[in-house]
Amino acid sequence: MYSEELLNDLRSKARLLRKDIITMIGKAGSGHPGGSLSSVEIVTALYFHELKLDPTDPAWEVRDRFILSKGHAAPLLYAALANRGFFPREEIWGLRKLGSILQGHPDRKSTPGVEMSTGSLGQGLAVSNGMAIAGKLSAANWRVYVLLGDGEVQEGMVWEAAMASSHYKLDNLTAFLDYNGLQIDGPVDEVMSPSPLADKWKAFGWNVLTIDGHDFESILDALQKARETKGKPTMIIAKTVKGKGISFMENNADWHGRAPSAEQVKQALAELEQV
């Protein structure tokens, strides 16, 4: 259904974003690589294929909106915005430094392309609801996308927002759940299990799709189905691997919020060159 040229381009972009994430966190000496790496294909598909955007005009009225509710994955968002042309690429090397436009969590006042300042988990879906309702009221044709973490959905506010999304029939809203199974304290199901996730979102009135979150064809198919769904919002549960692409980070909760050393950065980049 999708050309090999498109898929190869997206894979190439994903590899570039992973390199940028590792390099910028290594330079900063702090940050969150695990959950940034697990969501790379999702954000790549959005920023380099799906979203209607104008990097020269971040406030373009008819743009699609993307909310990174799991704000600690800011390095991924920054890498996508920089490589999409929202600001000079060299800015990403200033991650978490004083005076930088790229702080540890997204700040809509200082970073072009950021729609919401996030970091306090659980708030992104509620704000996305507001944006989607505004779109409905103004008869706009732009869409709203939001990315949540699986540990994040332990927050009660998420479920209040989920109820509102379906109540207002927000079919212009698509949510992704980065289901990598790990949070800072360990396995999500051991810390506070949100399972069964698909059944819960369906019970809250959502159209629910479960996919491989690292497969571009699956992601693009799900996005198309979301656009075609009428009368309800869509939740795309993306099964992913925390730390995806880096052997010593994969499925390891220790890398939720830990920066790699210079030697580890070198190893990680070498592994990504072989992909």
Question: What is the DSSP secondary-structure string of 93-156?
Answer: GGTT-TT-S--SS--TTTSTT--S---STT-HHHHHHHHHHHHHHTT----EEEEEETTGGGSH
Position 275 scores a pLDDT of 78
Q: Domain 4-273 - what CATH class?
A: alpha beta
* Cβ-based neighbour number of residue 62 at 10 Å: 10
**Residue boundaries of the structural domains of the chain:** 4-273
CB 13 within 8 A of CB 83: yes
- The stretches in the chain having pLDDT less than 70 are none
Give pLDDT, residue 216.
98
* Distance set, CA 106 to CA 90, 96, 158 (Å): 17, 11, 19
Per-residue confidence (pLDDT) for residue 72, from 0 to 100: 98
Beta-sheet pairing, 186-187 with 182-183 = antiparallel
State the Cα–Cα distance between residues 220 and 1, nearest whole angstrom. Answer: 10
Segment holding 182, helix H or strand E: strand 182-183
pLDDT computed for residue 1 by the predictor: 81
The alpha helices in the chain, defined as continuous H runs, are 4-28, 33-38, 40-45, 74-84, 124-137, 156-167, 188-192, 197-203, 216-228, 262-273
Which amino acid, one-letter code, is at 182?
L
**Which residues are 146's β-sheet partners?**
67, 175
pTM above 0.95, yes or no: yes
* Strand partners of residue 183: 186
What pLDDT does residue 94 have? Answer: 97
